[in-house]
Amino acid sequence: MAHSRLLLSSGLQMHVVQLPAVGEARGTVLCLHGFPDTWFGWRHQMPAFSQRGWHVVVPDLRGYGETEVPKESPAQYQMKELCEDLLGLLEALLLRRVVVLGHDWGGSLAWTFALQFPQRVTAVGAVCTPFFPNNPAKNPWHSMREKPGRFDYQMWFQNAEAEAELSEDPEYTVKCIIRGTGEKEASTFNEAFASPTERGGLLKGLPPKELCPRSEILSEEELRYYAAQFRRSGFFGGLSWYRNVERNWQWMRSTAGQKIQQAAFILTAGRDPTLRASMVDSLKMKDWVPRLRHVHIEDAGHWVLQEAPKEATTLICEWLDHLPSESATMARL
């Protein structure tokens, strides 16, 4: 894996990890991570994509890992800025068009980028995150504040106290959040996201550090890597992604009513307590994304890429295998 730091046209210094295509090149796959994560969340899938002829590009997104963390304002993390980062990344790597895959917030960014810049995206896919069509008549931030429900954690993330809580001990934070669902403590940790505002903290009520077991989906070395990355970056950047719901809605109003016309994919997980598989139907995704392929892993949760890496990788690769190859002249600037 080749690591590099690029100065983007957006002005951001971005850390990027790449793998070259093996054999006949089919195009480029751009993989986007979520919260709290880094490029490392795609580590299990990257070699398989490469072996199937895909050039793999996985950045630390704005505010994460070894990428720059702007701290002037949460507004620096709205979707408009994040899409400009992706445009700058493609420009820096001389890429005309890519397949975009995203997990969690990376999935939301992938859908948005495909809708806003369709000429740069040949196909788009997400893990866990459905496509939320923009309703220009309904401010989602107002709706969420009135009835946060299982998204209450996003209310807590608006507070400065959330940053202080998560930053106090990054290793403990990662141990509490990045977890599998087949472990005996799974329900305890899942419930942490249900009512942090009432409890006064996301980690309040969870086992203390000395009694908090490392999840089986992370080795000790992997846990230390994650902890080091969040000691470096802190949590201001990642939390700021949650602080732009209204700004993002306003920017996306220009695309209201538009459909995602590219070949598309979503992998849902049966044990994801927040981004539930049923949302694909309740949001009428197939109406908005006509070429959608929906696959599902029942016995895994939100961190399905790490909890069920072989099964998830196989399902994504099967979809990638059916995409048309891009010629070198078409895929590059």
Gap between the Cα atoms of 133 and 28, Å rounded: 26
Catalytic residue status for 152: no
pLDDT attached to residue 296: 98
**Catalytic residue chosen out of the listed positions 104, 152, 172, 272:** 104
Catalytic residue status for 3: no
Composition of the chain by helix, strand, coil, percent to 5: 45, 15, 40
pLDDT attached to residue 47: 99
Condensed to tens digits (0 to 9), the pLDDT of residues 210-243 reads: 888 899 999 999 999 999 999 999 999 999 999 9
All residues at 6 or more sequence positions from 277 whose CB lies less than 8 Å from its CB, including other chains: 268, 269, 270, 296
pLDDT attached to residue 164: 97
pLDDT attached to residue 329: 44
Low-confidence ranges of the chain (pLDDT < 70): 186-187, 327-333
Query: Do you know the residue count of the chain?
Result: 333
pLDDT attached to residue 333: 59
Q: Report the 10 Å Cβ neighbour count for 311.
A: 15
pLDDT attached to residue 29: 98
Please report the sign of the dihedral spanned by the C-alpha atoms of residue 32, residue 35, residue 37, residue 42: negative
Please report, as a single letter, which amino acid is at residue 3: H
**Catalytic residue chosen out of the listed positions 33, 226, 242, 272:** 242
Gap between the Cα atoms of 32 and 103, Å rounded: 6
Catalytic residue status for 77: no
Domains and CATH numbers, the chain: 2-157+244-327 (3.40.50.1820)
pLDDT attached to residue 324: 87
